[in-house]
């Protein structure tokens, strides 16, 4: 089927979404601009769009192989993928496996501490309110999601976490925390948005020891860190 780009539907921080001749298919075009966890303002990374498309393709395919539903359909061009159109929830989930920077500051936990169990936090995608962290009661009261939908998203997030942690461990990487977004379609609730190096915080391990500063996403090191992580993951671009 011809998936040529149609109308620009969304111009976000890291990608653009375009309509296609198919009503339920979109083109996600990744930008070379990126906003990392600790990098502040967006920075341009050479070939970041190509890397992001390749990593998203690999990680979404991995999850699908474990029967975890996502919006991924297939890769398209160098920096583009075809995805299923979703009705997105106005909340995102952050899954914490370790105490990383923001978690450490909030709770006084030493950076790099392994949490006894993964912690899922919900955030309201509301820029006017600076994307606040919310409880399940907030989400239900504000009509952001129903109780059973939140339970399903949490279950999916835990399954995805187990699969992704194992994937990165085999590459001597620690998945400290990552973000997921979800949407509705005729198949039910599926993972949407993107799974890239921008949505995961990864640390390196050497002889079983965690180096929380191995990959630095400040402006002086962002290109080097991005390329090195991409190569370490070993996906095909």
State residue 228's pLDDT score: 84
Confidence of residue 197 (pLDDT cuts 50, 70, 90): confident
The per-residue pLDDT for 35 is 61
The closest alpha carbon to 152, from 128, 180, 132, belongs to 180
Q: What is the pLDDT of residues 16-46, one digit of tens each?
A: 999 999 999 999 999 987 665 444 566 778 8
The pLDDT confidence band at residue 87, using thresholds 50, 70 and 90, is: very high
Whether 10 has a pLDDT exceeding 70, the answer reads yes
> What DSSP string describes 60-117?
HHHHHHTT--BSEEEE-STTEEEEE--EEEEEEEEEEEE--HHHHHHH-PPTTPEEEE
Give the residue, 220 or 156, on which the prediction is more confident: 156
pLDDT of residue 216: 61
Least confident among 91-95, 119-123, 159-163, 170-174: 170-174
Report pLDDT for 217.
Answer: 60
Query: Average per-residue pLDDT in the chain?
Result: 90
| DSSP states of 39-70 | --S-EE-TTHHHHHHHHHHHHHHHHHHTT--B
Q: How confident is the model at residue 231 (pLDDT cuts 50, 70, 90)?
A: confident
Q: What's the average model confidence in pLDDT over 185-214?
A: 87
- Percent composition of the chain: helix, strand, coil (DSSP 3-state, to 5): 30, 35, 35
Q: Model confidence over 117-163: pLDDT tens digits?
A: 999 999 999 999 999 999 999 999 999 999 999 999 999 999 999 99
Q: What's the Cα-to-Cα distance from 221 to each of 36, 38, 40, 48, 215, rounded to whole Å?
A: 12, 12, 13, 14, 8
**pLDDT level of residue 166 (50, 70, 90 thresholds):** very high
Give the per-residue pLDDT at 39: 47
Higher pLDDT, 92 or 222: 92
Q: Which domains does the chain have, with CATH numbers?
A: 8-84 (3.30.200.20), 87-217 (3.30.470.20)
């Amino acid at each position: 089927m011809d998936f040529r780009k149609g109308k620009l539907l969304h111009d976000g921080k890291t990608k653009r979404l375009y309509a296609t001749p198919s009503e339920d298919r979109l083109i996600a075009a990744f930008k070379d601009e990126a906003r990392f966890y600790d990098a502040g303002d967006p920075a341009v990374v050479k070939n970041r769009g190509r890397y992001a498309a390749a990593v998203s393709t690999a990680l979404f395919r991995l999850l699908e192989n474990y029967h975890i539903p996502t919006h991924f359909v297939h890769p398209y061009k160098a920096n583009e993928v075809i995805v299923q159109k979703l009705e997105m929830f106005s909340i995102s989930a952050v899954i914490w496996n370790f105490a990383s920077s923001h978690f450490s500051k909030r709770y006084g936990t030493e950076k790099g501490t392994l949490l006894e169990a993964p912690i899922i936090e919900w955030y309201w995608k509301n820029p006017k309110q600076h994307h606040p962290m919310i409880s399940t009661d907030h989400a239900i009261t504000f009509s952001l999601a129903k109780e059973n939908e939140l339970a399903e998203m949490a279950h999916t997030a835990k399954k995805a976490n187990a699969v992704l942690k194992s994937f990165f461990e085999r590459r001597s990487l620690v998945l400290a925390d990552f973000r997921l977004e979800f949407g509705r379609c005729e198949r039910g609730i599926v993972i949407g948005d993107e799974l890239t190096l921008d949505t995961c915080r990864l640390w390196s391990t050497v002889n079983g020891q965690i180096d929380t500063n191995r990959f630095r996403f400040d402006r002086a090191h962002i290109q080097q860190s991005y390329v090195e992580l991409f190569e370490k993951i070993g996906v095909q671009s």
